[in-house]
Amino acid sequence: MDININNEILEIMAKAGVMYGHKKSKTHPKMKPFLGGRKNEIELLSPEATLETLAKAVEFLKEKKKNGGLVLCVGTLPAHRQAVQSLAEAFNFPFVISRWLGGTLTNFKIIRERFLYYAGLKSKLEKGELSKYTKKEQLDFSEQIKKMSKFFDGLTNLSRIPDALLIVDINEHSTALREAKRIKIPVIALVDSNDDPTAVDYPIIANDHAKASIDWVLQKISENLKLESDVV
């Protein structure tokens, strides 16, 4: 990935708000090397740091993808969902955009069983195999499918423990991060000025709360993974 900085890329990053962190009072001490200034009490992230860390993360993801790796993409807030789902679907990665189910990684066998139950129930509904039940039972099944779909629709491709996690906002998804670290799964994550960059293996220094910033970072990841696919 090209990390050369020019006025055009700086203008695009500024417009997307990629370099805008949080107030100085919320700055994590370990983020100081990645700061590039301050504007109206808001810490500004270094664009050089953003591009350099993004390049490292992309190279890691390229290697994982090249070797058939499975990357679980996680982002459950409204500003995350569209970009996370688009990236995941472009490369057949599993994703979580509703709510992280505790034990998704550390109790994977049970979670997988619940997913298979959901998939089976959904298949029976589509084939009309639930029509033999009473109307009340059919309604119960429909409600069950609707409720479970929020958690499991993105996990169709999660057939095994993933090889890496890509997280937007590690503070919001601390349980996912904790589970990944517990079983030693590498984590790539957008890291803002209020985060600890040493908490993840591949931090991407960027605004993790503005939709435009998240969209830009994940689009850059997607573009570079697509280039790799074209080469192969």
pLDDT digits (tens, 9 = 90+) for 116-133: 999 999 999 989 999 899
| 113 and 87 within one domain | no
| Range of weakest confidence among 18-22, 144-148, 196-200, 224-228 | 224-228
Full domain range(s) for residue 41 = 7-101+161-231
The CATH number covering residue 170 comes to 3.40.50.10490
The verdict on residue 179 lying in a domain is yes
Number of domains in the chain: 2
Residues forming beta bridges with residue 43, ordered by sequence position = 38
Q: Is residue 81 part of a domain?
A: yes
In a domain, 87, yes or no: yes
Average pLDDT, the chain: 93
Question: Pairing between strand 71-74 and 95-96?
Answer: parallel
Q: pLDDT digit string (tens) for 160-178?
A: 999 999 999 999 999 999 9
14 in any annotated domain: yes
Q: Is the pLDDT of residue 5 over 90?
A: no
Cβ-count burial 18-52 (b if 16+ within 10 Å, e if not) = bbbbbeeeebbeebeebbeeeeeeebbbbbebbbb
